[in-house]
Chain A
C-alpha cells in the first residue's frame, strides 16, 4: 500500500513540470561559472557574453548524459558557422570526480566545445548554485547571460537553439 502511495505521489510530481529547478527560473541571471578546463586553464562563463550558450551539466558516470553527447555534437557541428561567428557556444560542466575518466571520455567522444569541472562530484558548488537535482541538466542563456530555457533535450533543444539563432 505504501508503494502504491509513492507511485501516486510520483505521478503527481511528474505532472508538476519544472520541479527540477526550485531555485533558478527563466529570466534569472545565470550564476557565474569559473572553473578549470581539461587543459587546466581558467575559464569563465562570462567570457562567452554576447553568445547564445548551452550550459550542459553532465558526468561520465551519468549514462543518459553520455548518450546525449553525440546529439549535442551533431547540433554543434551543424551550427559551426554560428560558433565561428561568435554567436553560439556549448559549455560542458562536468560533475565528475575522476579527472582521468573525465578527460578520457572527452577524447573518446571527441567533444569539441569548452569543458570545465571542479572534479567534486555532487559536492560541486556549481551544482548548488544552479540547484541541480538530477543529471542530465542544461540551461540556455542569451547574450546578456540571462536564462532563457532550462532542461531542453533532443528535437526540442535543437529547435529552440536554431529558432533563437535565426531570429537573432
Chain B
C-alpha cells in the first residue's frame, strides 16, 4: 500500500514536470495552439468540397494531400523563397494550411521556418496541420483524400 502511494506521488511529480516542459516548449513555437488544425477537420472539408477557399501547402518532402501545392521542404532556402512568392500572390486574410508529415513536430525541420514566414508576412489565418506522427499514419492509413500518384 505504502509502495503504491510512493509510486503515485512519483508519477504525479513526473507528470507535473513533463506538463511544464511541454508548456514551455509550446510557448516558443511560432504558432498558437488554436492555429493547429486536426487532420480529420481538413479531410472532412476536402471531402465535403469545402476546401476551395483555403490554400493547402506542403512544406515537407512530398505533397500527398489532395489539392495541396508542393513548395519543397521548409528547411531549404529555395523552398522559403518559393513560399514567399506564393504567399505574395495570396490575400492576407486567406486561410493557409501548411503541412509536412515527415515526423513528429519536435523532430521536423520544415514547419517552423515556413510558419514563421507566414507570421512575418502578416497572414492572420495561418494554420499548421496537426500531424502527431507522420503523413502515413495520420493521413494515408486513415484513407483521407490523397492525390493520384504521378508516373
Contact = CB atoms under 8 A, between A and B. Distances in A.
Given A61-B102, A133-B136, A123 B64 contact: yes
B136 A63 contact: no
A106 interface: no
Contact of A121 (B18, B19, B23, B61): B61
Contacts of B22: 3, 7
Nearest to A10: B18
Interface string A4-17: 10011001000000
Contact of A122 (B18, B107, B140, B149): B140
Contacts of A97: 61-62
Interface string B55-85: 0000011101000000001000000000000
Given A61-B73, A61-B102, A63-B109, A7 B15 contact: yes
B137 A123 contact: no
B86 interface: no
A123 B136 contact: yes
A123 B133 contact: no
Contact of B102 (A7, A62, A132): A62
B133 A134 contact: yes
Contacts, number: 62
B126 interface: no
Contacts of A59: 61, 102
Contact of A133 (B107, B137, B146, B149): B137
B58 to A, nearest CB: 10
B134 interface: yes
Given A8-B15, A63-B109, A133-B133, A123 B61 contact: no
Nearest to A96: B61
A4 B103 contact: no
Given A120-B62, A122-B64, 15 more contacts: A3-B23, A7-B15, A7-B22, A61-B73, A61-B102, A96-B61, A97-B61, A97-B62, A121-B64, A123-B62, A123-B146, A123-B149, A128-B136, A133-B134, A134-B103
Interface of A: 3-4, 7-8, 11, 59, 61-64, 96-98, 120-123, 127-128, 132-135
Query: What are the 7 tightest A-B residue pairs by CB atom distance, in nearest-first order?
Result: A122-B136, A121-B62, A97-B61, A97-B62, A122-B135, A61-B102, A61-B61
